[in-house]
Amino acid sequence: MKKIIHTVFILLISIQMVNAQRAPRLSSPDVDKNNNVTFRYFAPNAKEVLLSTEIVAEQIAMKKDEQGVWTTTIKKVTPDIYPYSFKVDGIEVADPNNTYVFANERFKRSIVDVPGNKPLAHSLRDVPHGKVTYRYYDSKTLETTRRVLVYTPPGFNMQDKTKKYPVLYLIHGGSDTEETWTKVGKANLIADNLIADGKATPMLIVMPYGNVRPGPMPDFTKDVMNDIIPFIESNYPVYTDTENRAVAGFSVGGGQTLNIGLTNTDKFSYIFSYAPYTATREFAQNFTNWNPDAEKINEQLKLFTISIGKDDFLYESVKGNLAMFKEKKIDVEPIFVSGGHTWMNCKLYLTQSLQRVFK
């Protein structure tokens, strides 16, 4: 974060290597001690530059100075991490001076970190840090080699077969990637902090790539059950019993979580679905005319929650999901919070789940 905040300092090198088309290095975004955030974008010939953020609902018209730098400041921002982008004469652009890009397949937005003056759930604190490891696994289901990110907690010892860990499988949103939960959701730092504070059980967090293109998307459920879980359980010292396996996910990943978890309650004791998107063929196949053995499922599941923000565009849809599960007599705990379909909420949902899983 420091390096982004401080890019105002122009290095000799960056001047000398500038090519004609390249804009000057600007300090953007700038976050001051009072959480005022200033955004800057160089576009001398643009007619209009709007700032689009998840800090405020409306887009903000930026003002141009004599040097062609468009600027605006949002005052007293609540500390968190927010996506934003510039709309330059209608064209969405990530902030060229900000290294911190939202990991996503559909859009290229930047991220601004407003740290505030006391540590947040996701802050980089002076505590023991786990590791995030990029691995490849062979998916027989999808007939390709796919990437998976694995968080291992502080003190994890790959070779010590006597010390085993539980595993949370954590799935991103529809157009996100396997990196979104660490790069935007800060899952590794949230886990580091909760483990350091004694609020979470040391665990592995496995973050797969949840999209299957070309489809069919339901094959991801098979990929998780037949390829990813066996890969993890054969390569890491982890518990392989149901009570030490959990699945969670956001949006499309929240829907995948319901598909994966509820059709495999003999494999998962914990299901955490965050703002699930369920208007999918797989969900319809699984839960239309669903006739579950509720008593057995409720006995198998130690905790099943569905989290949703009151301003989430899926709020009504999720209330429908909750009603359906209740009607089927499935014990599901609704977690209603404020906020929308955002990664600010994702961090909150994960922080809540990590304090209740594997206990």
Binding residues for a copy of itself, rule: CB under 8 A, are 2-3, 6-7, 9, 11-14, 16-17, 21-22, 25, 43, 45-46, 87-94, 96-97, 99, 101, 103-108, 124, 126, 129, 131-136, 138, 144-145, 157-160, 174-175, 177, 182, 188, 209, 211, 213-215, 217, 252, 277, 279-281
How far is Cα 256 from Cα 260, in angstroms, rounded to an integer? 6
For a copy of itself, the closer of residues 221 and 265 by Cβ is 221
For a copy of itself, the closer of residues 132 and 248 by Cβ is 132
191 burial class (0-12, 13-18, 19+ CB within 10 angstroms)? buried
Shortest approach of a copy of itself to residue 286 CB, angstroms?
Answer: 16
Residue at 281: amino acid letter: R
For a copy of itself, the closer of residues 76 and 213 by Cβ is 213
For a copy of itself, the closer of residues 98 and 264 by Cβ is 98
Shortest approach of a copy of itself to residue 11 CB, angstroms?
Answer: 7
Shortest approach of a copy of itself to residue 114 CB, angstroms?
Answer: 18
170's CB contacts (< 8 A; 6+ apart) are: 181, 187, 205, 206, 207, 247, 248, 249, 350
How far is Cα 109 from Cα 117, in angstroms, rounded to an integer? 26
For a copy of itself, the closer of residues 30 and 297 by Cβ is 30
Query: 66 and 58 in contact (C-beta within 8 Å)?
Result: no
For a copy of itself, the closer of residues 135 and 302 by Cβ is 135
Alpha-helix runs per DSSP H in the chain:
2-5, 12-16, 180-183, 187-196, 219-222, 229-235, 252-262, 281-287, 294-300, 315-327, 343-354
359 burial class (0-12, 13-18, 19+ CB within 10 angstroms)? exposed
Shortest approach of a copy of itself to residue 305 CB, angstroms?
Answer: 23
Shortest approach of a copy of itself to residue 158 CB, angstroms?
Answer: 6
Q: DSSP secondary-structure letter at 58?
A: S
- Reading the block at residue 150, the tokens are 């694995």
For a copy of itself, the closer of residues 265 and 278 by Cβ is 278
> Do the bridges between strand 49-53 and strand 80-88 make them parallel or antiparallel, or are there none, so unpaired?
antiparallel
Shortest approach of a copy of itself to residue 134 CB, angstroms?
Answer: 4
Shortest approach of a copy of itself to residue 31 CB, angstroms?
Answer: 15
